Each structure stands twice: as C-alpha cells, then as structure tokens.
Amino acid sequence: MTTILIKNAEIVTMNRKSEIITGDILIENDRITAIGPDLDPAQVDKIIDATNRTVIPGFVQTHIHLCQTLFRGKGDDLELMDWLKKRIWPLEASHDEESIYYSALLGIGELIQSGTTTIVDMETVHHTDFAFQAIASSGIRALSGKVMMDKGDEVPYALREKTADSLQQSVDLLEKWHGYDDGRIQYAFSPRFVISCTEELLREVRSLSEQYQVKVHTHASENLGEIEIVQAETGMRNVVYLDHLGLANERLILAHCIWLDEEEKRIIHERGVHVSHCPGSNLKLASGIAETPEMLKMDISVSLGADGAPCNNNLDMFNEMRLAALIQKPIHGPTAMNAQTVFRMATIGGARAVGMEKEIGSIEVGKKADLAILDLVNFHTYPSFDVDPISRIVYSATRADVETTIINGRIVMENRIMRTIDKDIVLPEANRSIQRLLKRSNLR
Ligand SMILES: [Zn+2]
C-alpha cells in the first residue's frame, strides 16, 4: 500500500457544504482515507508539506480532442465548417500511430500541468488504440473513444468509414480498454456530430451504449450553419433529432449547445443530458455564447471543456473558468456567473457529467485521490487577506500556479516536474509528427 500525507494545506473541498478548511489529507493507494487537523498515521511513504499551499479537486474537462493537439496553431481564424474541412479533417486523415500517440501525450502533459485530472476525449477515426496507450501510461483519468463518421460532404477518403466498420472498431476498443486500471479508463462512443453520422449508426450507438452502460460523447448546436444542415437533412433541430433516436438520456454528453431553442432545453433538462460548455473554443471559432446561466437555473448539468488545441489554443481550465464567468457578464449582468458557480462546473459539475460524482470532483473521505496543489503565494494572487480562495483561483490564478498533481493516488507531477511524461522526448516528437502530417495532407 502506498500512503501519502499532505500536511497543513488550505483545502477547497467542494463537498456538499463547500467547506474550505485547513488541515491534512491522507491518501492510501487510490483513495482519500482521512481529512483533518494534525493527522498522524503510524506510517506514511511520503509527506508533502503543503504549508501556504491550496489543495483543490482535480479539474474535470468534459470535452477534449487529444488527437488534435498536434494541430495547435494550424487552424486559426476560421469558422467551424471551414476549420473542419480545410484544416482539421485533412490533418486527422493524415495521422499515423506514432503521431496519435505523441499528440495525446502532448495534450495530457498540458492538462496535468494545469491541474486537470479527468477528461472526456474524442479521438479521430483511426489509430485510437495508440491514444489509449498514451492515456494508460500517463496516469490521467479518461473517458475516450474513436470518432465515428460514416457520412458527410468533403470528408477525406481516409476518414470515411462504413457503418458496420465504425461500430465494430468502437466495440473492439471498448472491449479492450473499458475498465482499464480499475476503471481509470472508460470507453465513450463518439459519433462526431449529426452531420457526420447516418441514422443507422446513431440508432446502433444508442443500443450499444445501453448494452454496455457507457457514455455517448458528441457535438451539438455549435454553429448556425451546422443547425441549418441538420434541419435540412432530418427536418429537426439537433437535440430533437437525437431525442427522436433515443440518444437523449443521462449517458449523453453534448459539447457546446450554443443555439438551443426552448424545446431543446426542455429535452436536455427532462432527459438528464449533460452539456459541456467550451467558451474558449466557442469564441475563437466565432460560434457564439451558450446560455449557461439559464441552463444552470433550469438545473441542467453544465460542465467545462477546452475542446481541441487548434480551436482554443490551450487546454487550460483556468482559462476556461475565467472565460465562462466573464463572457456572460456583458450580456446578463455582473452576477450572472460568479467564481463559485464556475469552479463548481470545473470540478463536481464535471464529475456529475461523467457519472462519477460519488468518486471524484471533491475532496472527501472515500473519494478517489484526484487533486491539485496550488502555490498562490505570488504577486498576481495577493493580497490573500480576507479574499475568497475561490475568487483567487478563478479570477487571479493561472496554470503556472499548479505545483503538484495527483491522480488516482499517484503523483503525476511534483513541484512542476512531470513524473509520467518526458517533455524532452514528447516536444521534439510532436514537431516531427506534425511535419509529417503537413506533408501528407498537402497543407504546407
Ligand atoms: Zn470538439
């Protein structure tokens, strides 16, 4: 058994009472087994002195594309459909096993360094096994799946798949990876969006997700042009169509949901669908601003995600939290989205979306030890006297303030040093890989 004792920390628990306490955290193997002042267990393997440090639950990002991390800076200043057709699909079509692997490690390195401990990840059509290998070795908690696209205009040849192949490959990956490392890795069916998928595929995904009890992760109502296409093809709006196919339920995670009408909001609320809000991506792709204050008022499950590196261009939850709060204020007033609400979306809200609110998302005895230790003793985070710690985290802190990250009881970054990913290998390999993909896709 490995035991870690974190001593003398300011602990932002995000428990039911949202308590912020000063004390110690005992971690035994993968779980938090005690929280309190002056814990003095007989024997510990490691003591972390967290005096003047703030411990928070690890962030849960509910919409990420690790396979796109290599495309950072390659899709700037475009709208969604152009961004997909001109840049992202040709680059995804050019991926090989090695490039998928290093794209994932590059992204996970950034995520761990900025305090994210759980992700919901959408890969590309091929080579997803190599993303899972990177997830497995890095120690991050993830729900991931190969993207499914058996239909669509201007889709490169290498991304076109037959319905049966798409389903079979998804099930093969699920059977190999779902439940890996005591459930640290889970599979999620990942149809890209309605435009990319036949009705047959989506109906089959619905029954497979029920059969295996796994999540379905897709995009919806991100862009007005997208909605027009969906309406022309199906006669329905996105969420109405997904509901019509039986997909709208508590296993569905929908990224974006910017342009919902009243009926769609009602469906999302009644069926318990989870919304992943991606403010950075939504602004950069000029998609729009989701009505998150209204959704939260309706008690819709809303969490946060950075989306992919080429539409953000960071995978940094501090950035997303800040944007999620600020973008609502000019429209709905200064109190429309406060720091506490945003921090909740980034932690326990994300845990709710992935169906793990009893396991992660807060610092409580019995929960998995997924947490980040912040050093908020700095010019940009002071004064600290009489300032709400959550205000300091959401409005002042940056990812550079994350000092140590623990996932599933394992220290994956300590004092800014990555323990599971070798930066000196991953950075040059990322450059080599993107060079290869640009050549193959004729984008350079
Ligand atoms: Zn996305």
Residue 108 CA to ligand 1 centre (angstroms): 16
Q: List the structure tokens of 366.
A: 């019995």
The binding site for substrate consists of 92, 222, 307
Q: Which domains does the chain have, with CATH numbers?
A: 3-57+370-417 (2.30.40.10), 67-353 (3.20.20.140)
pLDDT for residue 139: 98
**Residues in a beta bridge with 24:** 36
Closest CA to 284 of 65, 111, 73, 66: 73
CA of 375 to the centre of ligand 1 (A): 31
Q: How remote is the CA of residue 352 from the centroid of ligand 1, in Å?
A: 20
In the chain, which residues have pLDDT < 70? Answer: none
Ligand 1 centroid from CA 420, angstroms: 26
Q: How far is the CA of 256 from the centre of ligand 1 (A)?
A: 8
Question: Of 115, 117, 159, which is closest to residue 135 (Cα–Cα)?
Answer: 117
Q: Indicate the helix (H) or strand (E) that contains 239.
A: helix 238-244
> pTM above the 0.95 mark?
yes
* Three-state secondary structure of 256-276: ECCCCCHHHHHHHHHHCCEEE
Angle 423-440/97-113 helices, nearest 10 degrees? 130
Q: How far is the CA of 443 from the centre of ligand 1 (A)?
A: 21
pLDDT, position 273:
98
State which residues have CB under 5 angstroms from ligand 1, the bound ion. 307
In 3D, which of 259, 362, 438, 251 has the Cα closest to residue 18? 362
d(CA 308, ligand 1 centre) in Å: 6
How many CB atoms neighbour CB 369 within 10 A? 25
Dihedral pair phi/psi, residue 218, rounded to 5°: -150, 175
Give the Å distance between the CA of 149 and the centre of ligand 1.
14
pLDDT tens column, 227-262: 999 999 999 999 999 999 999 999 999 999 999 999
Q: What angle do CA 432, 433, 436 make, to 5 degrees?
A: 90
Per-residue tokens: 24: 């110690």
- Distance between Cα 157 and ligand 1 center (Å): 21
How many Cα atoms sit within 13 Å of 9 on the Cβ side?
29
Known binding-site positions: 63, 65, 92, 219, 222, 307
Instruction: For Cα atoms 391, 293, 120, give the angle at the middle one, nearest 5 degrees.
Output: 80
Show binding-site residues for Zn(2+).
63, 65, 219, 307
Q: Is 153 exposed, middle or buried (0-12, 13-18, 19+ CB in 10 A)?
A: exposed
Would you state the structure tokens that stand for residue 144, as one six-digit string? Answer: 């991931």
Q: Is the dihedral of CA 83, 318, 346, 416 positive or negative?
A: positive
How remote is the CA of residue 254 from the centroid of ligand 1, in Å?
A: 10
The token duo for 407 is 């996932």
The Å distance, Cα 315 to ligand 1 centre, comes to 12
> Measured between alpha carbons, how far is 90 from 71 in angstroms, rounded to an integer?
11
Distance CA 277, CA 62 (A): 8
CA distances from 125 to 310, 341, 385, 417, 430 (A): 18, 35, 51, 33, 20
- Report the alpha-carbon distance of residue 217 to residue 225 in Å, rounded: 21
Ligand 1 centroid to residue 49 C-alpha, Å? 39
CA 356 from chain centre, in angstroms, equals: 14
Q: Which residues are bridge partners to 5 per DSSP?
A: 26, 47
Distance 36 CA to ligand 1 centre (A): 40
Distance 123 CA to ligand 1 centre (A): 10
SS (H, E, C) 66-121: HHHHHHCCCCCCCCHHHHHHHHHHHHHHCCCHHHHHHHHHHHHHHHHHCCEEEEEE
